[in-house]
Amino acid sequence: MPIDIAAGLALCKNALDIVMAVRKAIRDKKKLTDEEIRDYLETLQDKLVDVKTALMEADEENRSLKGQLAEAKRMADFGAEFTTGEGLYWREKYPYCPTCWDTERKAVRLGEIPFDTDRGEIWQCPVHKVHHVTQQRH
């Protein structure tokens, strides 16, 4: 079961509380039995393992989010150069699917269907399979 960062921080505090309790016992010249020392160490070990797991999961999630952010930034930069016309987005004379861009911020270049009509050209979104007819020819 994943441990979130807040839970990992709470475990870290618990581990530090144990260390503080042992240090106080030493400062107060209290003799700890072998069993008490073993219990403290086992509890510390368990908490540190959970903290390590939480950090590893947080690192993995962080990497994933950074990847998603970089991809979103790349797409936003790409889309910043779009122009509009005939209900489509255009970039370097090629049309892009308005549905893919408007709903998912994915720049999906439309494929031309080799079927010349009197009205113009037919383009198809490779994702949605929707056809768009344009008067503009490229």
Binding-site ranges for Zn ion (CB under 5 A): 97, 99-100, 108, 125, 127-128
CA nearest neighbour of 86 among 113, 110, 116, 115: 110
Q: 76 or 127, CB closer to Zn ion?
A: 127
| Amino acid sitting at position 79 | G
Q: 44 or 108, CB closer to Zn ion?
A: 108
Q: 33 or 83, CB closer to Zn ion?
A: 83
Q: 11 or 100, CB closer to Zn ion?
A: 100
Q: What angle do CA 122, 97, 117 make, to 5 degrees?
A: 5
Write down the least CB distance from residue 119 to Zn ion, Å.
21
Write down the least CB distance from residue 98 to Zn ion, Å.
8
Q: What angle do CA 129, 136, 108 make, to 5 degrees?
A: 35
- State residue 12 phi and psi, 5-degree precision: -60, -40
127's CB contacts (< 8 A; 6+ apart) are 97, 100, 106, 108
Write down the least CB distance from residue 117 to Zn ion, Å.
21
Write down the least CB distance from residue 17 to Zn ion, Å.
55
